[in-house]
Structure 1
Amino acid sequence: MSLHFSVLASGSTGNAIFVSDENHSLLVDAGLSGKQMEALFQQINRNVRDLSGILVTHEHSDHIKGIGVLARKYNVPIYANEKTWSAMEGLIGTIAPDQKFIFPTGTVQAFGGISVESFGVSHDAAEPMFFSFHQDNKKLTLITDTGYVSDRMKGIIDNSDVFIFESNHDVEMLRMGRYPWSVKRRILSDLGHVSNEDAGLALADVIGDKTKRIYLAHLSQDNNMKEIARMSVHQVLQEKDLGIDERFTLHDTDPKQPTQLVYV
């Protein structure tokens, strides 16, 4: 039992996930300020200077806000695909050439005993990708910021021990909310975000015998609530008779408070 993780922050205001074993520590995105990121690391008793790398999912600000600061201050390598590098080049400040690494979509990178598998998703960014982390027959999958979950994605993430899964909005809250229609249409589109109900339906197709924990992530600040997301997803999974609360459990994430460090 060495692969462990914490969802440091998740939501429309900023996202960051910590994944580690006894030898390597990785950060997926850094969508908060450098100071906020340092404070989150302190809360889980970890140090930014010990990071082996920062993996970037895509160039939107709620995923890259603190990347440049952390990379320069702690000399952390950054991994992203070529299109994401091009899209975020002017957004994160100058990064030293020896800290810039290409991580192509659809490939696997090894960080010691952790194998990181990247896969493409459907979102309005240059080339968004997310990750499954593999070690000793354990699998941790992170997938947010996608308008839908395709059969291809499901095949890659199927039967993960842990899912950190997008449950972005309640459709009725979004439709009745204050956003302009153009923004609502973008969120509801195939290049937007997965709703609570669609998260439940997609999860029902990928939960397997190994699955033990599901974390509902990237909740909209304006168009969702933890209780609504959990209730909606729970209802779908209960109707599918998959053993929720017995074989596996649902967990919240928070935009400001990290989840407890948990072993996969």
Structure 2
Amino acid sequence: MMKSQNLAGTETAQLKFSILASGSSGNATLVETGDQKILVDCGLSGKKMEDLFKQINRDISEVDAILITHEHSDHIKGLGVLARKYKLPVYANEKTWQAMDRMIGEVNVDQKFQFDMETVKSFGSLQVESFGVSHDAVEPMFYIFHNGNKKFVMITDTGYVSDRMKGHIKNADAYLFESNHDVEMLRMGRYPWNVKRRILGDLGHVSNEDAGIAMSEVIGDNTKRIYLGHLSKDNNMKDLARMSVAQTLASEGIVIGSQVELFDTDPEIPTGIITL
């Protein structure tokens, strides 16, 4: 039987993903083709990560690589445990490796790989493109996944979406897009002012409204599914995020349902496997 890598340039190539967890308490996403399974981030305990994989009928031991976006604990909490237990290759840029090395414990040198910002790596049939974001980590970056004519973009943990970022992520089939907070909920909430200022700043997180504005500028003819990610448990709600993003998109002439659909993510419940 021919493996899907032989289809990588054709319209029959498939790209699948499951957003295993998304939120301030932990983040992880599985992306797969017929010959590759790539885990992006590992921000929950090893035990919880194993449980999330079981919920979608997948086995962590079959993961071909773990890609890390940045060194914050909600993205690397279970990394060391799983890398050691399953002998998994881990990819991150040089500065992120330096920042997280002491946080994840001992990982064999032959499991450590460098993935520089603004580059493309091939994993079998899957081409993965990295791009920088604006966040208070040493060198945060996210990923675009290509297989044939299919494209899946992950962009969370950024204070704003620049024109450079928009150029990278235009017209994907599906997005995991940050919709972190409602500005008024955040301003009126219990967080101390220095934390509020950090979240609202250019190195913080994108609000519902700003997420909708950015989406309106990158949605293309291929775009069918947008998953709202990294929602704050204190300063947002799923219904509010969907409503705010939908209203913002509608004001730009993009009506939810006719071309593109909005979906929730959850910090503890995976989306299931989505096929593009």
> Structure 2 length normalisation: TM-score?
0.95
Whichever residue aligns with residue 174 of structure 1, its letter is L
Indicate yes or no: 2:57 matched with 1:50. no
Whichever residue aligns with residue 38 of structure 2, its letter is L
Whichever residue aligns with residue 91 of structure 1, its letter is M
Q: Deviations over 1:118-172 (max 9, x none)?
A: 0000000000000000011110000000000000000000000001000000000
Q: Deviations over 1:82-132 (max 9, x none)?
A: 000000011000010000000000000100010000000000000000000
CA distance in 1, matches of 2:254, 2:125: 32
Aligned match of 2:223: 211
Q: CA shift at 1:243, angstroms?
A: 3.5
Identity level (%): 65
Whichever residue aligns with residue 126 of structure 1, its letter is V
Aligned match of 2:193: 181
Aligned match of 2:113: 101
Aligned match of 2:259: 247
Whichever residue aligns with residue 110 of structure 1, its letter is S
Indicate yes or no: 2:141 matched with 1:129. yes
CA distance in 2, matches of 1:237, 1:124: 28
1:37-116 equivalences under 5 Å are: 37-116=49-128
CA distance in 2, matches of 1:78, 1:235: 39
CA distance in 1, matches of 2:247, 2:142: 26
Q: CA shift at 1:242, angstroms?
A: 1.9
Aligned match of 1:201: 213
CA distance in 2, matches of 1:248, 1:201: 15
Aligned match of 2:130: 118
Asked if 1 retains the 8 angstrom alpha-carbon contact of 2:246 and 2:255, the reply is no
Whichever residue aligns with residue 19 of structure 1, its letter is V
Aligned match of 1:20: 32
Unaligned 5+ runs, structure 2:
1-12
Aligned match of 2:236: 224
> Structure 1 length normalisation: TM-score?
0.99
- Secondary structure of the corresponding residue to residue 91 of structure 1: helix
Q: CA shift at 1:238, angstroms?
A: 1.2
CA distance in 2, matches of 1:242, 1:160: 15
CA distance in 2, matches of 1:176, 1:198: 19
Unaligned 5+ runs, structure 1:
none
1:29 to 41, 53, 75: 41
- RMSD (CA atoms): 0.6
**Structure 1 residue ranges, 4+ long, deviating more than 2 angstroms after superposition:** none
Q: CA shift at 1:2, angstroms?
A: 2.4
1:152-191 equivalences under 5 Å are: 152-191=164-203
